[in-house]
Structure 1
Amino acid sequence: MKIKAALLAAGLSVAFFHGPASAQSPADLNDLEIAHVAYTADNIDIRYAHLALAISQNPEIREFAQTMIRDHTAVNEQALALLAELNADPQDNFLSQTLMENADKLIDEMSQLRGAAFDKRYAENELAYHKAVNDLVENTFIPNIDNEQVRALFEAGLQIFKAHEGHATMMVAKVK
């Protein structure tokens, strides 16, 4: 089980750090590109949560999914408000595109599962996804964000998403 989770995390790391050969590094993204990656990552987790609500009958999975929708939607609304205040638009980039491609594949895979198999896969994915995104935000994005307001929003969001990671850890233990 731990090997499978490690492989999942490794696969997500590939999604974050490997794009086309000509692509730049996540550390080279500008604030507007970083904003697009964050918005995309939030929307992906919202999609995963809607899938969980459509498939799972497990009350804990469903509660977690509802929390993901609520929290990620709230952060995205704050981000869009800040971008409007700054009169700026997020910029699509290699990392946002890679995240979307990988999410589409994962949603196709998970949509075929039912019952305990779905719950386990969803929980493991949520844990791996939050670990990977939190690491990227904390260690790559925040140190490279130039705008103080954008940095503050990312720092606040990171605290919420670290709590999600902790909740996902407990969820994985319960569905094994």
Structure 2
Amino acid sequence: MTVRIVLAGVLAGVTATLGASARAQAPTDPQIVGIVLAANQIDIDAGNAALAKAHSPEVKAFAQQMVTDHSALQKSVKELGAKLHVVPAPSPTAASLKSQAATTAARLKTLHGDAYDKAYIDNEVAYHQAVIDAVSNVLIPNAQNAELKNALVGAAPAFQGHLKHAQMIQTSLH
């Protein structure tokens, strides 16, 4: 139970970081690209860890989907950035996401079996919801380049699909 409470606190921090911090100072296009790359890498890393630790075949399949889908998106974002001559820039939001992801990964590393599966999926539900909110409310409205804005809009259905899939697994695990 303590792990779940601590994990919930970390997830609340991710939501606050993606939303409030980005709204406080509107991100530039280079920072938006940096935030998207950081967010994708976090989910790729979490998926790879889950592939090694997850117990449930359903959770492992979800983790593989996260690695596959976010790796493809990562490649697309890098290609779009290069095409638009937008070099990813650091931002407080990206730095905070990375820091919080490291904290979450360290906590998940201490769990095993069903406890790990539940905590990983709980994290994925909260993380995807936070990303969807940030993309919709912060990144898309602040993207200046039309192609970048369209790419963010185009990625939204995939994030929604990941969230719904994670929620279905979450229901089956609890």
TM-score, structure 2 normalization: 0.91
Kindly provide the CA deviation profile for residues 13-35 of structure 1, in whole angstroms up to 9, marking residues without a partner as x.
2332466xxxx746511111011
* Of 59, 62, 72, the match for 1:61: 59
Kindly provide the CA deviation profile for residues 116-155 of structure 1, in whole angstroms up to 9, marking residues without a partner as x.
0000000100000000010000111111111111011111
| C-alpha contact 1:42 1:73 (8 A) present in aligned 2 | yes
Q: Distance in 1 between matches of 2:25 and 2:131?
A: 14
Q: Which residue of 1 aligns with 2:17?
A: 15
Q: Which residue of 2 aligns with 1:153?
A: 151
**Moved beyond 6 Å, runs of 4+:** none
Q: Given the alignment of the two structures, is residue 49 of structure 1 paired with residue 47 of structure 2, yes or no?
A: yes
CA 1:62–1:7: 2 relative to 1, 3 Å: same
Q: Which residue of 1 aligns with 2:172?
A: 174
| C-alpha contact 2:19 2:133 (8 A) present in aligned 1 | no
Q: Give the match's secondary structure for 2:58.
A: helix
Q: Which residue of 1 aligns with 2:135?
A: 137
Q: Distance in 1 between matches of 2:167 and 2:73?
A: 22
CA 1:31–1:42: 2 relative to 1, 3 Å: same
Mark the runs of 5 or more structure 1 residues left unpaired by the alignment: none
| C-alpha contact 1:15 1:102 (8 A) present in aligned 2 | no
**Structure 1 position 174, deviation (Å):** 0.9
**Structure 2 residue identity aligned to 1:107:** A
Q: Which residue of 1 aligns with 2:37?
A: 39
**Structure 1 position 57, deviation (Å):** 2.3
Aligned residues between the structures: 171
Q: Distance in 2 between matches of 1:65 and 1:149?
A: 29
Q: Distance in 2 between matches of 1:41 and 1:26?
A: 19
Q: Distance in 2 between matches of 1:75 and 1:136?
A: 17
Mark the runs of 5 or more structure 2 residues left unpaired by the alignment: none
Q: Distance in 2 between matches of 1:126 and 1:7?
A: 14
* Of 83, 92, 95, the match for 1:94: 92
**Structure 2 residue identity aligned to 1:101:** S
| Identity rate, percent | 31
Q: Which residue of 1 aligns with 2:77?
A: 79
TM-score, structure 1 normalization: 0.90
